[in-house]
Amino acid sequence: MKRTPRPPREELNLNIIVSRQFDKAARVLDFPEGLLKQIKACNAVYRIEFPVRFGNRYELFHAWRAEHSHHKKPVKGGIRYSEFVTQDEVMALAALMTYKCAIVNVPFGGAKGGVKLDPKKYTPEQLEKITRRYTAELISKGFIGPGTDVPAPDYGTGEREMAWIADTYDAFHPGQIDNLACVTGKPVSQGGIRGRREATGRGITDGLREVFRQANEMKRLKLSPGLEGKSVIVQGLGNVGYHAALFLQEEEGSLITGIAEYEGGIYNPKGLKVRDVFEHRRKTGSILNFPKAKNFTHSTALLEMECDILLPAALENQITAENASRVRCKVLAEGANGPTTNEGEEILLKKNILIVPDVYLNAGGVTVSYFEWLKNLSHVRFGRMEKRREEKSVIELLSAIENLCGKPIPPQIRKKLTHGPNEVDLVNSGLEETMAEAYHEIYEARQSVKGVNDLRTAAYVVAIRKVATSYMELGIFP
């Protein structure tokens, strides 16, 4: 059997990939070379080795925290638990966070953290010990704090780990009123915000909605405007992929024809009900053998199936020079960080495939993390002050309309109109506005900047301009 050639190691290095993406955009901008080097450089990396005691034995863990840019403070970025995490990966993801925050106008610099471990191999009690010790190491060097560096969940971590981090930080800083703002992605009962869990998936949907509203773009792709009826293949049924697929299906009317996971893939051209697939996997441990769906032993085969939208929402380096020529989507929506290599992207662009880049499309998580951070600093739930007042104002307005018209407003319409916004309503509204505004900035840059022909380069142009402006206004570069 003929072996598939593996792409060269350099092609799969995320740090090199992000660096090349930056350089491509920097070439079309007229900023001093020294300023561009400063924007590109990772300002600080803290490499840690720490022991944790489990019963009568000790285990040594390797971990990192990278702070890419301090043009805005605090810096912001997730913490991932993975046996494959490396310093290069953490630095690359920190850089992406800098550009991501700039693109969506969130006033943070970029950061990222990682602990080299497989969380499936440890009990919750062991993971708590590891998390608290890692947090203590970050505290000792000033790599965490409400005004300095604010972590969040990432691959292998979630609300539970963020609660442990917040509690550990609070124990080291007793009596400080803003301690909860040291980390985001916490449970709602521990200072988290409603809508954060599904924020990245919802942001993907919001971003794609804006993309598909562009009639000229859709005409070029031979697609009708709007997401309704568009066929979608999703790679990854984790938090990001699940919520993106769910919102695309239930709110936008898209057709989810394929879902891929590490155990394999399933496909049905007539559509798959995302909630049912998720429940099937919960019960059986696999998405395979879902009723009326065709099984694929190798999940990567789904990346090559024909569809309108291909949504890789799991791993890095999924579309490379080796398989890009066989990709048959019209829009590649990068839900994961770094799913496309530089060489893979060149092939896709030559095939006239529209790439909606990760540096924009998966920024929903950090956007809602920003809202959570604001909530923690203000010490009040969004909507608490104004919800009832807005409801009363609308009721009075509707009553006046009914009196003038002499007809009652139907109860269902009245109920919907008089519903005052609660926290999740405000969060979702803010996220939708953020993603829409950011996309139009990117689209305008692609149209107006000479030498820019794709959305990723346009997004980097937008980011670099904003970071450069911050540095120049600070007087660091006259």
Which domain CATH number covers 180?
3.40.50.10860
| Same domain membership, residue 291 and residue 244 | yes
Give the Cα separation of 442 and 130 in Å (integer). Answer: 40
Q: Is the pTM of this model over 0.85?
A: yes
pLDDT at 10: 63
Asked whether residue 338 falls in the same domain as residue 275, the answer is yes
Which residue in this structure is represented by tokens 């398989």? 323
- Do 61 and 177 belong to one domain? yes
Task: Say yes or no: 118 and 64 in one domain.
Answer: yes
Do residues 183 and 205 share a domain? Answer: no
pLDDT tens for the chain, 478 residues long, are 344 444 455 677 889 999 999 999 999 999 999 999 999 999 999 999 999 999 999 999 999 999 999 999 999 999 999 999 999 999 999 999 999 999 999 999 999 999 999 999 999 999 999 999 999 999 999 999 999 999 999 999 999 999 999 999 999 999 999 999 999 999 999 999 999 999 999 999 999 999 999 999 999 999 999 999 999 999 999 999 999 999 999 999 999 999 999 899 999 999 999 999 999 999 999 999 999 999 999 989 999 999 999 999 988 899 999 999 999 999 999 999 999 999 999 999 999 999 999 999 999 999 999 999 999 999 999 888 788 888 788 888 888 888 888 888 888 888 888 887 889 999 999 999 999 999 999 999 999 999 999 999 999 999 999 999 999 999 887 6
Q: State the CB neighbour count (10 A cutoff) for residue 474.
A: 10
Gap between the Cα atoms of 75 and 110, Å rounded:
5
> What are the phi and psi torsion angles at 213 (to 5°)?
-85, -15
Is 235 part of any domain?
A: yes
Which two three-digit tokens encode residue 182? 């040291």
User: Are 226 and 244 part of one and the same domain?
Assistant: yes
207 lies in the same domain as 166:
no
Contact 367, 430 (CB under 8 A): yes
Residue at 270 is within a domain: yes
Q: In the prediction, which pLDDT does 394 show?
A: 82
Number of structural domains found in the chain: 2
Range of the domain at 295: 199-364
Among 332, 364, 396, which residue terminates a domain? 364
394 occurs within a structural domain: no
CB 71 within 8 A of CB 464: no
Give CA–CA dist 181/172, Å, rounded. 14
178 and 230, same domain (yes or no): no
Helices (H), 111-238: 124-140, 159-172, 199-211, 215-221
Among candidate residues 76, 112, 375, 387, the one labeled active-site is 112
Is 378 a member of any domain?
no
pLDDT at position 6: 46
Distance of CA 212 to CAs 209, 222, 230, 232, 355, Å?
5, 12, 10, 13, 13
112 is catalytic: yes
Of 349, 364, 379, the position where a domain reaches its end is 364
Last residue of a domain, one of 133, 159, 190: 190
Q: Is residue 4 part of a domain?
A: no
Residue 430 inside a domain? The answer is no
Within-domain flag for 459: no
338 and 249 in a common domain: yes
Q: Are residues 184 and 105 in the same domain?
A: yes
CA-based end-to-end distance of the chain: 61
Structural domain includes residue 24 = no
Give the domain CATH number at 263.
3.40.50.720
- What pLDDT is stored for residue 9 in this prediction? 57
The rounded distance, in Å, linking the Cα atoms of 75 and 401 is 49
Residue 245 CA to residue 273 CA, distance in Å, equals 9
205 and 180 in a common domain = no
What pLDDT shows up at residue 3?
A: 40
| Same domain (yes/no): 223, 294 | yes
In contact, 364 and 206? CB cutoff 8 Å? yes
Backbone φ and ψ of 144, nearest 5°: -160, 145
Residue 81 CA neighbour count, 13 Å, CB half:
18
| Cβ neighbours of residue 37 closer than 8 Å, sequence gap 6 or more | none
Pairing outcome for strands 264-267 and 255-261? antiparallel
